[in-house]
Amino acid sequence: MAERYLIPEKRVSTEIIVVNSTFIATAGPVFSTDEAKEFIRSVRMAYPDATHNVPAYVIGYGNSVIAYCSDDGEPSGSSGRPVLAVLQGSGMGDAAIVVTRYFGGTKLGIGGLVHAYGDAAKAVLEIMPRAMKVPTYTTLVAVPYALFERTRLLLSKWKAQTLAEEFGADVMITSRFLTNHFDGFQAELLEMTAGTIQAEIIEEDPQTIMPLDAFDE
């Protein structure tokens, strides 16, 4: 099984003020250098009049990581490296941060810039919801109305995400499971229905972004 590790669940941003300069940190998931470059480009387009847009990203995790940062015109080592250091210390992989600065008229010095860019990166990671990229099954099961609520409880027990419910002669439930949760659900469903109903796997995705509440405690 591929190594599991934390990743950003979605794109988020926040801002801090340091001696009249505004620092806007934007972070999100990226799964290749091309995606990282597009993420950086999109932030630059969002803040075209900014003084600096300082990027950092890590692709992968553990021993197979691509790491990158740039000072984007700030003094060497004052901005990109602090942002990357915060990102690398977060325990996340497949993540990018761009810290946008609007200069407020007061120079911060090298030390001040290191703290400001690092603090902006920390601020955005504090509000970042975490997820994991894991293999999943999308499944379909048809249950009679009399068993609908019991099936919903069973899906909840095995931490399935309900994607759709269609009400016809029976209820057609489309769900997403962690692959290692599906067999347990299937066994209990068969037991509950005396072997008459089982779920069908209709899609397998080896790299689904799943929120942390989908995992065992």
CATH of the structural domain 133-214, one choice from 3.30.70.240, 2.40.50.140, 3.40.50.10440, 3.40.1710.10: 3.30.70.240
Q: Write down the residue that tokens 């109305």 correspond to.
A: 145
The per-residue pLDDT for range 23-41, each reduced to its tens digit, is 999 999 999 999 999 999 9
* Tokens 């300069």 sit on residue: 21
pLDDT digits (tens, 9 = 90+) for 93-143: 999 999 999 998 889 999 999 999 999 999 999 999 999 888 899 999 999
User: Are the beta carbons of 205 and 135 closer than 8 angstroms?
Assistant: yes
- The CATH code of the domain at 6-128 is 3.30.230.30
Q: Where are the domains of the chain?
A: 6-128, 133-214
pLDDT tens-place string over residues 154-192: 999 999 999 999 999 999 999 999 999 999 999 999 999
- Could you write out the DSSP letters of every residue in 164-188? EEEESSSEEEEEEEEHHHHHHHHHH
- What is the reported pTM? 0.75
Buried b (16+ CB within 10 A) or exposed e, 59-84: bebeeeeeebbbbbebeeebbbbbbb
